[in-house]
Amino acid sequence: MRRVVVTGLGMVSPLAAGVEETWTRLLAGQSGAGTITRFDAGHLATTYACEIPRGDGSDGTFNPDDWMEPKEQRKVDDFILYGMAAAEMAVKDSGWMPEGTEDRERTGVMIGSGIGGLQSIAETAVLIKERGARRVSPFFIPGALINLVSGQVSIRYGFKGPNHAVVTACSTGAHAIGDAARLIMLGDADVMVAGGAESPICEIGIAGFNACKALSTKRGNEPEKASRPYDADRDGFVMGEGAGVVVLEEYEHAKARGAKIYAEILGYGLSGDAYHITAPSEDGEGGERAMRNALRSAGLSGADVDYINAHGTSTMADTIELGAVERVMGDAASKATMSSTKSSIGHLLGAAGAVEAIFCILALRDQVAPPTINLDNPAVEPKLDLAPNAKREREIGVALSNSFGFGGTNASLVMGRIDR
Amino acid sequence: MSDIQDRTRKIVVEHLGVEEDKVTENASFIDDLGADSLDTVELVMAFEEEFGIEIPDDAAETIQTFGDAVKFIKEAV
């Protein structure tokens, strides 16, 4: 099987627009949470979220005009805007912008979303009710469809290879990277632009997840303390938004053009819980199998893993995942570090797995594990180091990222340093 | 009457992101002003909204240029 490496990174997160800006703030233990400003959320059970800081583009703020022309922004839901921005960063970072027909046909896109244009769908439904079906915009459907991030990116760069989009709730970003890597391994493409994008911070999004009893509701007065994975006082996840995109490339292809290589995609594992629509199986065996499958495809064992970026959403499921990871790691658990970066950026749903894979890649590059902030009083005694409230500078040769989604859909990615 | 022409031009400029002086009598939305078929649907909706008129689909298909639009709107209001 052909080897796949990562040669470009792009990200728009609640901490900042940009990979390095986000990483610096993440390592410093900052929180992206605050009272919702996008709309008046005062009547909802949850009044806070991790919103992308918008501004003129300076100091890590996100300026939509930097990434899409204003007249084009009007035609798309925010998840597409975020995905386009992250894709542009990743493609530029990789330096892969081919002009030739064959190169373009060997370059594909697979950027997914958990929900897609939720806000557009809600607004259009209201429009029909209030003003009639004739007022529906011709851009409503292409502005809300999940695969239109992949479509838009392909149109912008002329990438004519496989064009695909994953929809597996909170596992979307991880599945997209894993599936795109497999397309390269199997020879369907030489380069894939892969990741996830999500914009769920709107009234219908918050109300919907509130109804599932999934969101934190108790910390309206201190939102930055609300996302606290593994802590005894956690009470649900904090909604985030954004996009993460990577450029994946066949190893020899990347070497031949002298590309900067961040890391290698070593393994990928998938599984289904076959248990419940929103809850993970209580013994965590679904997530455990995803991790074991990923390690097996990498030819590694739990003992080889130095850093784990947990799914860790700040819900009851945290300790289920922790148990599964400890079983996979066995006696080596005490030597590994695991953190949940959702403590800082909240839960980006379909973008989470992609953003968190990028954090693993940066952890491999910089030999540092980001912290789990707000972990003041662990709910259980962990065998793993959870990096509570402080980053861990340590040797990291192999990193594993977990993503688990509603419907019982699980994905694990194993990434490693190319020189390990 | 020039008021209708100005208001129509303003809509075209805003929706298609083109310079005002490009929006001439004979300018074709698709060939000269960079619109695609979805843009023209949205333009017609914007004309309907601005002038409080209804432009049936078969009439909308005959509106190809800025001049066509102004002429139709003048007759419809």
Q: Which of residues A229, A257, A285 is at a domain's end? A: A257
Within a 10 A sphere around the Cβ of B64, how many other Cβ atoms? 15
CATH assignment at residue A378: 3.40.47.10
Q: Say whether both A9 and A126 belong to one domain.
A: yes
Please judge whether B45 and A135 are an interchain contact, meaning their C-beta atoms are less than 8 angstroms apart: yes
Could you tell me the two tokens for A243?
A: 């996009």
| Res. B21: pLDDT tops 90 | yes
Angle, alpha carbons A153-A60-A247 (nearest 5°): 30
> Which range of residues forms the domain containing residue A169?
4-257
Look at residue A419 in the predicted model and tell me its pLDDT: 87
Q: Say whether both A245 and A282 belong to one domain.
A: no
Query: How many domains, chain A?
Result: 2
Q: Does B38 touch chain A (CB under 8 A)?
A: yes
DSSP state of B48: H
- Rounded Cα gap, residues A55 and A72, in angstroms: 19
Count of positions (residues) in chain A:
420
Q: Say whether both A101 and A62 belong to one domain.
A: yes
Which residues of chain A make contact with B14, given a CB cutoff of 8 A?
71
Angle, alpha carbons A78-A86-A60 (nearest 5°): 90
* The one catalytic residue among B6, B36, B58, B68: B36
- Rounded Cα gap, residues A359 and A114, in angstroms: 20
Look at residue A284 in the predicted model and tell me its pLDDT: 97
Please judge whether B17 and A137 are an interchain contact, meaning their C-beta atoms are less than 8 angstroms apart: no
Q: Say whether both A142 and A243 belong to one domain.
A: yes
DSSP characters over A70-98: HHHHTTS-HHHHHHHHHHHHHHHHHT---
DSSP state of A191: E
Q: What domains lie within chain B, and their CATH numbers?
A: 1-76 (1.10.1200.10)
Residue by residue, pLDDT tens for chain A (420 residues) are 899 999 999 999 999 999 999 999 999 999 999 999 999 999 999 999 999 999 999 999 999 999 999 989 999 999 999 999 999 999 999 999 999 999 999 999 999 999 999 999 999 999 999 999 999 999 999 999 999 999 999 999 999 999 999 999 999 999 999 999 999 999 999 999 999 999 999 999 999 999 999 999 999 999 999 999 999 999 999 999 999 999 999 999 999 999 999 999 999 999 999 999 999 999 999 999 999 999 999 999 999 999 999 999 999 999 999 999 999 999 999 999 999 999 999 999 999 999 999 999 999 999 999 999 999 999 999 999 999 999 999 999 999 999 999 999 999 999 999 987
Q: Say whether both A215 and A286 belong to one domain.
A: no
